[in-house]
């Protein structure tokens, strides 16, 4: 059963929960909105946590949605699970929905690496997922077919993660200490490393603090969860993207400095009911500035207003 750790003073605040999984592990998640409303699962980005969602209480009430954002193993209140895979976390999320009495179907969203986890949930549990939204999403680094489409930088990073795991483990441990001891300095350092499109969003008051606090929780447990997430990302994914049957919208910015938009048509071509929303002059953090539009689109998808099969037709972007 879920164990409430806090309660909402207003609907604009969030409610942290913990759920005991069938194997006894604890899964932490954050609920945004009214538990009586239809559920949407949000998968957070790499090195972040369920606290990365912008305030949207009034919007959620209007759309009659609740957001359930689980923390992956080793993040926030979630116990470490060394054998993390994309399917294993899809199992965890589904068990949490069962514990919360949510039989489905639900919407699923994911930002950045969270997009791959969203795909895994939709592929492994197609009967429980009604709609998918991928926000500045990535490809699974360990899938042979997708690997051919990776940039040299991402191929190099995967090689380093697989070939020198001890070095990455040490790096994530060091970063966890920085986030715990000097969060303001560390978020400023990360912002300076970003490209201009990301800096313009991340440096805004409110967003800066939001992402700072999310990263502090993301690097809990001495960065163990971030390392295990990276390992899972670099190994064979354990699911087929072609098994995703729900209508899927891919939101991506033309100026994304983390994951260039070149791969997005390829990703969409492997999904049965995919449509691309390519946003000019926006970067990897586009979900923060387009949150109302993203949630409104999810409401439409869940209402069945956008369920036609859509395959890249009429794409006006040039690469």
**β-strand partners of 66:** 39
Kindly report the average pLDDT of the chain as a whole number: 91
Residue 196 lies in a domain: yes
- Using DSSP, state whether 309 is helix, strand or coil: coil
CATH assignment of the domain containing 268: 3.40.50.1820
Residue 314 lies in a domain: no
Residue 307 lies in a domain: no
For 274-288, the pLDDT digits (tens) are 999 999 999 999 999
Residue 6 scores a pLDDT above 80: no
Q: What is the pTM of this model?
A: 0.92
For 185-207, the pLDDT digits (tens) are 999 999 999 999 999 999 888 99
For 248-271, the pLDDT digits (tens) are 999 999 999 999 999 999 999 999
Residue 2 scores a pLDDT above 70: no
Task: Specify the number of domains making up the chain.
Answer: 1
How are the residues of the chain apportioned to helix, strand and coil, as percentages rounded to the nearest 5?
Answer: 45, 15, 40
In angstroms, rounded to a whole number, what is the distance separating the alpha carbons of residues 268 and 245? 12
Q: pLDDT tier at 309 (50, 70, 90 boundaries)? A: very low
In angstroms, rounded to a whole number, what is the distance separating the alpha carbons of residues 237 and 244? 14
Q: Are 135 and 251 in contact (CB under 8 A)?
A: yes
In angstroms, rounded to a whole number, what is the distance separating the alpha carbons of residues 172 and 75? 13
Closest CA to 64 of 94, 30, 107: 107
**Distance in angstroms between the alpha carbons of the first and the last residue of the chain:** 49
Q: How many residues does the chain have?
A: 319
Please report, rounded to a whole number, the percentage of residues in the chain having pLDDT higher than 70.
92
For 23-69, the pLDDT digits (tens) are 999 999 999 999 999 999 999 999 999 999 999 999 999 999 999 99
pLDDT of residue 14: 86
Residue 211 lies in a domain: yes
In angstroms, rounded to a whole number, what is the distance separating the alpha carbons of residues 120 and 206? 31
Residue 317 lies in a domain: no
Residue 315 lies in a domain: no
Q: What's the rounded mean pLDDT across residues 155-183? A: 96
Residue 319 lies in a domain: no
CB-side neighbour CA atoms (13 Å) of 240: 4
In angstroms, rounded to a whole number, what is the distance separating the alpha carbons of residues 10 and 263? 41
Closest CA to 281 of 200, 191, 205: 200
Residue 53 lies in a domain: yes
Range of the domain at 267: 2-302
In angstroms, rounded to a whole number, what is the distance separating the alpha carbons of residues 33 and 288? 17
């Amino acid at each position: 059963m879920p164990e409430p750790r806090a309660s909402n003073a207003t609907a604009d605040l969030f409610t942290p929960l913990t759920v005991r999984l069938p194997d006894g592990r604890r899964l932490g998640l954050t609920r945004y909105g009214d538990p009586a409303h239809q559920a949407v699962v949000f998968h957070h980005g790499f090195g972040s946590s369920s606290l990365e969602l912008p305030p949207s209480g009034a919007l959620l009430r209007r759309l009659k949605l609740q957001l359930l954002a689980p923390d992956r193993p080793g993040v926030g209140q979630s116990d470490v699970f060394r054998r993390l895979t994309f399917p294993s976390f899809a199992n965890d999320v589904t068990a949490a929905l069962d514990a919360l009495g949510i039989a489905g179907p639900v919407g699923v969203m994911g930002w950045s690496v969270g997009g791959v986890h969203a795909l895994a949930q939709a592929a492994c549990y197609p009967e429980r997922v009604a709609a998918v939204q991928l926000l500045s999403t990535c490809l699974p680094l360990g899938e042979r077919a997708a690997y051919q489409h990776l940039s040299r930088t991402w191929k190099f990073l995967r090689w380093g993660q697989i070939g020198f795991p001890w070095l990455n483990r040490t790096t994530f441990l060091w970063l966890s200490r920085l986030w715990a001891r000097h969060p303001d300095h560390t978020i400023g350092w990360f912002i300076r490393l970003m490209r201009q499109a990301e800096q313009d969003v991340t440096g805004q008051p409110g967003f800066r603090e939001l992402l700072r606090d999310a990263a502090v929780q993301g690097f809990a447990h001495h960065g163990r969860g971030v390392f295990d997430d990276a390992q899972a990302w670099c190994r064979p994914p354990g699911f087929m993207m072609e098994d995703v049957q729900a209508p899927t919208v891919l939101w991506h910015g033309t100026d994304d400095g983390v994951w260039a938009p070149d791969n997005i048509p390829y990703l969409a071509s492997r999904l049965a009911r995919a449509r691309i929303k390519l946003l000019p002059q926006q970067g990897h953090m586009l979900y923060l500035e387009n949150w109302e539009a993203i949630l409104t689109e999810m409401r439409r998808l869940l209402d069945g207003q956008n369920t036609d099969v859509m395959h890249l037709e009429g794409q006006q972007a040039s690469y």
